[in-house]
Amino acid sequence: MITMAKTCKSPEEIESGKIVGGFAHNQVLALADKVIDAVKSGAIKRFVVMAGCDGRQKARSYFTEVAEMLPKDTVILTAGCAKYRYNKLALGDIGGIPRVLDAGQCNDSYSLAVIALKLKEAFGLNDINELPISYDIAWYEQKAVAVLLALLFLGIKGIRLGPTLLAFLSPNVAKVLVEKFGIKSIGTVQNDIAAMMKGE
């Protein structure tokens, strides 16, 4: 294999650029005053958690399109491989706060939960679901079950999942998820964005 590799052409760079990451909870909370002020002033109207697992198939372009079409006063909180659908887009910032705050990989979804809990505390809310946060989660592989269970444990409701749904989802489990947690599958980009902006 090494001998064969030595006869091959060197790989060519197909793209270049920089991607800003490292927005785990410690970093975001260090900027908490700035983020809270932006929310209170209306500069940031909504956060959308677009985390989870995704694939590269062209048919799974939903999350790229959502990121491109979200209003400019919306910040995306992300973790996991789903972010590769939109973290190279030039989405800009809101008063110096990047519109994509990347906490890391799937296991770092914990950071997104901590950020939500701290925002709940900062705004003096009783229920995490009162925050201006929507959950639009990419579903691709079973490891994402841990992320979903963590969100459900926190009592988060109204989560959208897709483009595919859980392969092991039985009718009884689906009934509990829908009735108790308001889980729903993703729809069209335009309709989902309109619903998220209304807090639905």
pLDDT digits (tens, 9 = 90+) for 134-171: 988 887 666 667 778 888 888 888 889 887 777 777 88
Cα gap 148→181, rounded to integer Å: 11
H or E segment at 48? strand 46-49
25: pLDDT strictly greater than 70: no
Of 38-42, 85-89, 93-97, 128-132, minimum mean pLDDT range: 85-89
Closest CA to 91 of 82, 106, 101, 81: 101
pLDDT of residue 140: 65
Q: C-alpha 115: how far from its chain's center?
A: 13
Greatest mean pLDDT among 92-96, 106-110, 174-178: 92-96
**pLDDT, mean over the chain:** 84
pTM equals: 0.83
Q: Are 196 and 46 in contact (CB under 8 A)?
A: yes
One of 3.40.50.300, 3.40.50.880, 3.40.50.2030, 1.20.120.1200 is the CATH number of 19-197, namely 3.40.50.2030
Residues with Cβ < 8 Å from 100, sequence gap 6 or more? 20, 67, 75, 76, 78, 83, 86, 87, 89, 91
Q: 26 or 49: whose pLDDT is higher?
A: 49
173 vs 169: CA distance, rounded Å: 6
Alpha carbons within 13 angstroms on the beta-carbon side of residue 37 total 8
3-state secondary structure of 104: coil
Asked if 125 and 101 touch (Cβ cutoff 8 Å), the reply is no
Q: What share of the chain in percent tops pLDDT 70?
A: 93
Domain residue limits, the chain: 19-197
Better-predicted residue by pLDDT, 81 or 92: 92
d(CA 173, CA 179) in angstroms, rounded, equals: 10
Cβ proximity of 75 and 103 under 8 Å: no
Q: 118-135 pLDDT, tens per residue? A: 888 888 888 888 989 998
Give the pLDDT of residue 45.
Answer: 93
Q: What contacts 72, CB < 8 A, 6 or more positions away? A: 92, 94, 99
pLDDT band at 80 (very low <50, low <70, confident <90, very high): confident
- Given this model, what pLDDT does residue 193 score? 94
